[in-house]
A and B are shown apart, each in its own frame.
Chain A
Amino acid sequence: MEVTLTDVEPGRRPATIPGLGRPLRAEEMVISMGPQHPSTHGVLRLELVVDGEIVVDVIPHIGYLHRCFEKHCEHMSNYQQVIPYADRMDYVAAMSNEFGYVVAMEKMLKIQVPERVEYIRVIMAEFSRIISHLIAIGTYGLDIGAFTPFLYCMRDREHVLDIIEETCGARLLYNYMWIGGLSHDVKPSFQKQVSEFCTYFRPKIKELNDLLSYNKIFIERTANVGVLPGDVAINYGASGPVLRGSGVKWDLRKNDPYSIYDRFSFDIPVGQGLKGKVGDCWDRYMVRVHEMEQSTNIIEQAVAQLPEGDVQSAIPKRIRPEAGEIYVRTETPKGDLGYYIVSDGTASPFRIKVRPPCFINLSALPAMCRGAMIADVVAILGSIDIVLGEVDR
């Protein structure tokens, strides 16, 4: 009845499974998880080689959401037009993607942006870290089977989205940060709204911890599951919460400061293996929870120091960088997002290459999943927190 990849005509040798490198054993079967599976966080397809409930190997298949981002960039008539496309990579944290790109372009054009712009950008980037982590945490609860925290996270996320919407008119894809400035200045009530949000949000993190993070069943499901030791994480090139969850203190906001991040005091949370081994799913999850607290700290500091000024004064009339290349990396909610931009001296980019953190973090998935159970694959995948828009670009 079962049709597997090994079903062949009698007398022929069983076919080798591509990606596994050998035929299936008698007790194994291949099961296709995705691209329409509810827990693959988009259109990721995982080919699971399973022995009962035990996962022998995982073969990820990507590309269902490929939109030729890099090729599109080469055909833009100017550099400004890339920004809406950058939004569409990691669409749950679009501000962070824009941020990396405009920082890279300003470095290339040697533009000094006004102080006010820097501060607003940092606030927006940290807001996008909060909304991205809220989605990551909420959907992670969903993956583990807890439905309610997801809606609580969505509720808190609404408050951030309202502030962003009032600032730039969009809730998901903003096109807000322009090369040399911003598309709109913030509203006069911005500072008050942001401070109100910060006082509102801190108790909500505690509520989330009570409901989900320290729930016995949740800990049982995530601690000691999908352990990624620090050295393995570095070898895979992992970054962001996946790397920090493994106990490696690496955050570009501290290690390679860009914009004005060196002016704020904040901690870098790392996984400590409080409930299991260092680098398990619970550590990665908890790093995100603590990062939301730290982002709230940064936002509070930034909004208190917000200087006056014109946010569009440094926007260049025409953008025509000299022939050359630049590589700038920034810390997005998912990890190190790198932009490699090559200019040939014309108004349109010659080549833009992106180093997407999700894609590289995802490459560590098979190593974490081997020997786990099917339910663990869902937990591990959720703890990596991928966005397929960025994996496939």
Chain B
Amino acid sequence: MSNEDYLKDISEIKNLMNKSSRFISLSGLTGILAGIYALIGAAVTYYFVTTYSYGTLLLDGWVFKTIVFILFMVAFLSIVTGIYLTTKKAKKNGEKIWDTSSRRLIFNFLIPLVVGGLYILIILSQGRYGQTGGLMLIFYGLALINASKYSIGNIKYLGYCEVILGLLATLYPGYGFWIWVVGFGFMHIIYGTYMHFKYDVK
């Protein structure tokens, strides 16, 4: 075999190792749009809280219920956008959308996220909602770090940033809202833009 054949072997090996263990058709655009949804949601929330509840929140008030609704809308829209853009990109890459690697990615992403979600619901029911924003960031960050082993490796850096921001938010609950805006809004937009230019625009 010639040198070129060996080189081809090595690159084929690398390619197969990646293809069989990682799902890489994540789109940077999803990150950008998710960040924008989060910012819009946060702006609406800010408007409601400052206009109708004078800076204090009651758990059974309609303002709180509206905020929870906005939060779910942001999550829902982000997921739908994610599924749509990922399917599109996977088709372009010739990667299957629902195979072992994407299943493994979603499963490992959901473990910390579901545990965190349940934990947040539990402490909300105990009336300690000062920590919510920070906890969301921490568990979301852990979910990203956990999922990074099964996808593009560098989403773990976004995870680290979210965890650090989450810890800061729990340390300074007064700034929880603004740190949430930075974590879910700006970080997503910055990271999504970086991903978009690194992987999608060529």
- A and B bind: no
B interface residues (Cβ-Cβ under 8 A, vs A): none
A interface residues (Cβ-Cβ under 8 A, vs B): none
